[in-house]
Structure 1
């Protein structure tokens, strides 16, 4: 019996030792690879001064009207993620893709990721580029930030276009994310391993270079201090938006999933939001949450129609 126990303990010890060695290796590889990738990463867009730091903004096209793109929460490289949509819009509009602090090639920040701070920083970036009249187009949580933005800078925003955008009062936004677990996986390099086994951009309209850039920036920006701060403020930011609507006279066009797998009332919430303004419309599309990945032609077509009909 003692011999069997001794052998079992030795076996368990060997397994633990192997696991520890593997984790040590993935941790070191992740740290070294992240540093190397950061140095070799191709740059895009332009850096503009915001609050004593640098925010990255990509400007494309040269139309008379301007569309400003804002990302959903956690989008690693917004200017690249919006590539399919930019390609559809830039022939008719000047398209400005903003990468808020903690996203893409923009700096990190110590300021809490409250709606007020995020809105103010995005506006400062646009001011630095002398952009003072535009349609605001936002994906996911940008729908919440967009309401505050439109009220704060109503004289600049000519319309809001939502891409499966978040809505005040949507259920589930008071649930905490498992950030400690995800952070551990990131530190140990296991998220890098998982990404290597599952290409999140497989089958999507991105070239290999763009895919590579987005994967690198995902490794760098995921669970950064800025990311964590925004994640921690999601509940309070949604709470502050509860009961709010876009300005009544602001034209609002909402693209939304026809059948959301996560929220049963998704269509109803967007219909109500569109009805809260004088000129509101909802276009339901058969696609996933990142509608602009697969349905950019439809989004660009209906956006052009909607904006052209405005007085």
Structure 2
């Protein structure tokens, strides 16, 4: 009996030791990898001083009209994520990709990620760049911030373009922020992506760009800004319920059929936002939530037609 207990104790201690060594190894490898990656992240765009911090912005194209691109929640690098769409739009427009605080190469911030603060920062950035008139084009959560934005700066915004954008009435899930941050800090998030790299949604770009996106993902994942943004989801969506798009503002929504299949009310909720708009339309494309990864040319072509038609009608 004593011999059996001794064997069991040895086995348990061995298992515990292996687990401790495994967890420690994952943690150390993550720390070393982050340190190495920091020196491999390539700079792009330009820095703009906003609210005392550096906001990263890419400007491409020399068109007379300006399109400002805003990302979906948690996008590691908005500039690289929108690369295909920028390529399609920039021959005809001046395209401005804004990386909000906590995204891409922009600074992190401890300022609460309320819609109002985010809108104020984006507007300050555009003012610093001396951009006075523009079309606002956003993906996903930028539908909520964009709705707030166009109501505050109606005289500046010439049109709104939504890529499978969020709407105030949709259901929102609370992210387990603390648990996900622990997953990242422990190194297990890196390990999970190593085992299953398909978990990371990537645009159709070259391998070097994909590697940059991956490194920025590990750098920015649920940092202070993104954690605060997730914690403010409920209030930001609720506050947006009072808002409607201005009557004379042209609005077009590009929706993903996969999102419509998952959420049958998706299109009706967007139609509700357009019911009082003079010039509004909805286009559904086959594909998933990140339509700008797979339908950038189709979106760009339709945007050109939509903006041209509404320019003539103004």
Larger mean CA deviation between 268-277 and 142-151 belongs to 268-277
Q: Distance in 1 between matches of 2:22 and 2:61?
A: 48
Q: How many aligned residue pairs are there?
A: 309
Between the aligned partners of 2:105 and 2:91, the Cα distance in structure 1 is 25
TM-score, normalization: structure 2? Answer: 0.95
**Change over 3 Å in CA distance of 1:256–1:202 after alignment to 2:** closer
Find the aligned partners of 1:2 and 1:177 in 2 and give their Cα distance: 49
Q: Retained in 2: the 8 A contact 1:30–1:189?
A: yes
Q: Which residue of structure 2 lines up, in the alignment, with residue 5 of structure 1?
A: 5
Query: The residue matched to 2:74 in structure 1 has which SS?
Result: coil
Could you tell me how far 1:203 is from its partner in structure 2?
Answer: 7.8
Unaligned runs of 5+ in 2: none
178-187 vs 93-102, greater mean Cα deviation: 178-187
Q: Secondary structure at the match of 1:40?
A: coil
Q: 1:274 to 1:305 in 2, by over 3 A?
A: same
Structure 2 residue 18 is the aligned partner of structure 1 residue 18: yes
3-state SS of 2:232 partner: helix
Consecutive aligned runs of 4 or more in structure 1 exceeding 4 Å deviation = 201-204
Residues 188-208 of structure 1: CA deviation (Å, up to 9, x unaligned): 111111222333468841111
Deviations 1:20-48 (A, max 9, x none): 11111111121121122112211000001
**Higher mean displacement: 63-72 or 31-40:** 31-40
- The answer on 1:299 being equivalent to 2:289 is no
**1:198-231 C-alpha deviation (Å, 9 max, x unpaired):** 3346884111111011101100100211111111
User: Which of 180, 184, 187 is the matching residue for 1:186?
Assistant: 184
The runs of 5 or more residues in structure 1 that have no matched partner are: none
Partner of 1:206: 205
Q: Secondary structure, in 3 states, of the residue corresponding to 1:149?
A: helix
> Secondary structure at 2:249's aligned position in 1?
coil
The 1:203–1:71 alpha-carbon spacing in structure 2 relative to 1, beyond 3 Å, is closer
State the distance in 2 between where 1:215 and 1:290 align.
17
The Cα offsets for residues 261-285 of structure 1, whole Å up to 9 and x where unpaired, read as 5422111111222223111100011
**Residue 107 (structure 2) aligns with:** 107
Equivalent-residue separation in structure 1 for 2:273 and 2:256 (angstroms): 15
CA separation in 1, counterparts of 2:24 and 2:4?
30
